[in-house]
Structure 1
Amino acid sequence: MADLPLTYQHRPPETESGSAPAVILLHGLGADEGDLFSYADVLPAEYHVLSVRGPHSSTGGGYAWMGSGQDRFAESVSALTAFAERLPDACDVDGDRIGLLGFSQGAKAALVALLAEPALFAWVVSLNGFLPRSHSDESVVERARGKSVFVGVGEHDSVISPELGAETAETLSAAGLDVTVRSYPVGHAIADQEVEDVAEWLRTSV
């Protein structure tokens, strides 16, 4: 494994012929880099899939993307930025085609990272997450104008309400991002159909 600033698991593309796009998977609160890696085989075979571990320990065990301080995502954004910047040399990744796929707290971190570094991340998939109000100022969101975002919400999610996901989609769309919204008959979880829809979106929309 290449020496990168976050602990990770990696599934290389099926056929390695020059630099390939990459999707970086960001787990939810209390999980780790193995949590979303089971979806790697559903995602497009031409992608590098890298599932990463959050830089903070969670009080209930596992890891997290939110720390302390005024900007609770600052350390995570810094780590994700360094990780993505080193991917082209470390894993023969196309630096113009790196995206983030996050679940729950990982989705929030992915959205914040996109707005912080829109030149580095090409797109984001947010599953059962939302854009924190601390980062939703119009001038901040507009930095990512033209970027593509897939927002997946659980219709029965009692942890992060589907209304928060819909509100995030509206905020991003109003700022000029290209937003796709899908809802699924699940709670705070990822539906199998959702992952298939994300895979198709990656093949056709980014």
Structure 2
Amino acid sequence: MNYILADNQELTRFALENLLQQDETAVVYRAFDKAGLVALLKEHESAIVILDYTLFDFTDEDQLLIVAERFALSQWVLLSEDLTSRFLRRVVYSSHQFSVVFKDGPMQEIREALQSASRHNRYISQRALEAIISQQQEEDEQPSVLTNTETEIVKAIAQGKTTKEIASERFSSVHTITTHRKNIFRKLGVNTAHEVVKYALRAGLIDSSEFYI
């Protein structure tokens, strides 16, 4: 069985490698960006991909689904600290290739997800399932209104500025800006900065002339 670790968190990658190597037949490859992942999938089309979506360079779930569809024999285990209910519904409803577990969940869930993927079945953790079921109507509701500060931070994100740069310009701590970013992501129901900008453009929160990334 071929596995592709697409997780840029070193500690998690180390733990997963040790877990997978308990199976002497497992062959583990590493991917550090989308291009590298696609290259490995070309060589190992039926591999199991273990992906932390929030730490990888997929711009949105559409791009993720396109890659999964392109390599239809592959199985994917999404392993992240947190994923929005909107993202979970979109991915889970669009493809049976995806299993979902969380990094702070029980080890048994991760084992079961990997076992299910090896049998070409999917595994949805209880936490992910509850998020999907309990918020079915969330997509039809308007997100919470961004504050003026949050809108300004969205503009800065659109200009390609880092959290550190935004904190410096606003005379704030990196921790404060990180908290604002998390609140923005939660309100807009997104997982990445690119998705924030796409939403902000559609909603008219920022002008297209401010979009630089």
Which one has a bigger Cα radius of gyration? 2
Q: Give the TM-score of the pair, scaled to structure 1.
A: 0.43
The structure with the greater share of residues assigned to strand is 1
Structure number with higher helix proportion: 2
